[in-house]
Structure formats: structure tokens, C-alpha cells
Amino acid sequence: MAPGMLLPSPPLTAGPTQPSIPARLDASCLHVTRTDHPSAIPPAHDLAFGKHVTDHMLQIEWTETYGWHQPRILPYQDIRLDPTASVFHYGFECFEGMKAYRDPTGRLRLFRPEMNLDRFSKSAVRIALPSLDGAELLKLIAEFVKVDERFVLAQGLGVTAPTSALLYMIASPVGAYYSTGFKPISLEATSSRHATRAWPGGAGNQKVGGNYAPSIAPEKEAKSRGFHQCLWLFGDDDAITEAGTMNLFIALKAQGYDCRELVTPPLDGTILPGVTRDCVLRLAQERLVPRGWRISERKICMAELSEASKSGKLVEVFGTGTAVIVSPIKAIKWREQVIECGLLPHQNAGKIATWMKDWIESRQYGIEEHEWSVAVDHVSR
């Protein structure tokens, strides 16, 4: 599912009488209009990421004078916007991605939605869009999932503050993010002297559209040279930040090899606080620390990674994200060298990446009951 908010201009519909104070988001006012032409469920083998959408969308208009208008679930349709809408010119838009799952009993579940909604609201506020009531929006998301539940497959022009906005949601049944499945990918390290994904004081820690469009051209260049994604570096010391749109984790042998360290770059304002990143860190504290691991959120540069690979201290590297969950990394090209990331020729994934994927999916699908997995029928209006 992909909730998104953008700045249209002018408002799409004439609003009701202006209240004395701006109206709050109210899930109890939801109006549902179901499609008269339900689409066929796409076959599992055709579930390329983002190729298909479900039959409906959630739409909520906001205006500065009225506040949040009535939430509506509508048949999926085009969005009509004036060509002068600020979203087209200055990027007043943000989005969020989450998945709905069906557990072995057929029950619908969301995975840690409160984290997505908190990040969504912070992203909106960061670019002067209205803040969100996460609890009310969660109720609307639950209703939206119920309306399109048959698509939930079993184991899926002035630069000023806006005066109106549109919150909408669409959904897409998905298969594996990478066509190769759970297999290792290769990265090309991209120096900030060539291209910069995020910088101090920017919005790299927010889920806003402006963070993504500028990264596409460097990624196309990397793919033309046979790599799956860019590994984004920053600064003269080539500090590691993110891999494509994923957070990055590095497992190292540490201090005479008597213990091991799981490292991820810190949330310094250039790193997106990923939901899956947080899951890995919490699971690592819960299940790896008792096994003697040290968990570190610290700066790590390419020189340290290169030396660890050469000395045999590099255990494995993997990326994390909502779409991919966990993505093992086989090799990274940095300058004139290719850094092998700890996998043997026959290995698709390291031990830690495999554990994390299994542990997270167990909670996502409700196999392991946990507070992270929110049953849709427990979210009421």
C-alpha cells in the first residue's frame, strides 16, 4: 500500500461550510463507494512490483480554511490536478509504503503501521503539509484493506506554505522486489563528489519525493555497468549512508575475533529511519546480544569495509527496507576494487540476513504473535 500526500491547486472539490476551527481527520465520517467493475486478481507469477493496483483508493482532501474533509474510499481513478499545482513544480509531496498480510488463518494484518504513520506525519510537516492523526488514519487504512482484501494474497507557483492538500492511498499486490528473489545483489559505490542522495541539513531522513527523483540517473548508470543499485557515500572519507533506497547493515568480526559487531550508519539526518531497520536493530538486541554480539549505530567508511574484507573480518552485508525486507549483498565496487562481502560462491545469503528475514516475516504473517503485527479486525472506527 502506498499512502501519499500532495499539494493540489486549486482544491478538487468545493468544500462544506467553513467550521470555526479547522476540522480534524475523522474516520467515523468515512464514505465508501465500491467499484461496479471489479478487476481480476493477477496471477502470482505476474506480480511484478508496482505493476498492478487494487480496485479502490482512499482520498481525503485538506484545506487551510476547513481542515480535513470527509474521508472517501473510491474506485481507483485518475487524479485531476491543475498544471500550476505546486506538487509539479516544487515537490510538495510525500509518501509512505507499507504492506498488508494474510496470516495462516486468513486474518488480515498490518506490520508496525504506527511507525509508518509517525514517519508519514513527520515527512508532511517537514515540507509544510498538514500533520496527520495517526490513530484516525490507521482506522481508515484498516477499512481500505478490508474493502480490497481479496487482493491480499496468502504467503504481500510561489514557494510558500500550502493552503490545501490531498491525502490519498492506493494499493498494489506484489511479488518479490527483485526478480532474482532472495539472492545477493551487487552495488556500485557512488561518491558524493559525483552524486549526493542526502546531505546534512537536508531532508534525507524524511520520506519526501525530492529524495528520490535525483537518484534515478546515477542508478541507471550503475545498472548499465551491471550493478543492481548505488551505495550512496558522503564526504571526503566516503562514509557509507544507504544502498539504493535501503538501510545498510554490516556484520564484522571484532577485537581479536572473540566477538562480532553488527553495524549500521547512525540516524544523523541523512539516513531514513526505516521501519525494517528498526526491526533489525530490535531483533539484534533481543536475539544477537545474548549470543555475544555488539550492536552499533556508528559511522563506517569504505576504507574500513575494504580492510575488513581483505583481512577476513567482514562477515556479511545486507540491506533492509519495506519492499525487500532483507537483501543480501555479494560485492561492492569502490573506486578500482571490488569488495567481496563475505559470501561463499554457493551462498545466496549470510546467516544474519537469513535469520532477520525469517524472524521479521514470522511476525509479519502472524506466525509469531507480536505487537508489531496489527490485526485489521482489531482496528475499529
Identify the band that residue 210 occupies on the pLDDT scale cut at 50, 70 and 90: confident
Predicted pLDDT of residue 5: 66
- Say which residue, 210 or 306, is predicted with more confidence: 306
Question: Length of the chain, please?
Answer: 381
* Beta strands at 185-190 and 325-334: parallel, antiparallel or unpaired: parallel
11-14 long-range Cβ contacts below 8 angstroms, 24+ apart:
11/61, 11/63, 11/164, 12/61, 12/80, 12/81, 12/166, 13/61, 13/69
Cell of 147: 474493502
Say whether pLDDT at 237 is over 50.
Answer: yes
pTM of the model: 0.81
Other residues' Cβ atoms within 10 Å of the Cβ of residue 175: 18
Identify the band that residue 13 occupies on the pLDDT scale cut at 50, 70 and 90: very low
Instruction: Kindly report the average pLDDT of the chain as a whole number.
Output: 89
Average pLDDT over residues 261-279: 96
- Say which residue, 78 or 162, is predicted with more confidence: 78
* DSSP assignment letter at 287: I
- Say which residue, 250 or 202, is predicted with more confidence: 250
pLDDT digits (tens, 9 = 90+) for 61-91: 999 899 999 999 999 999 998 888 888 877 8
350-379 core/surface letters (b: 16 or more CB in 10 A; e: else): bebbbbbbebbbebbbbeeeeebbbebeeb
- Are the C-beta atoms of 270 and 205 separated by less than 8 Å? yes
Tell me how far apart the alpha carbons of residues 6 and 144 are, in angstroms, rounded to a whole number. Answer: 19
* Beta strands at 100-102 and 108-111: parallel, antiparallel or unpaired: antiparallel
Predicted pLDDT of residue 11: 44
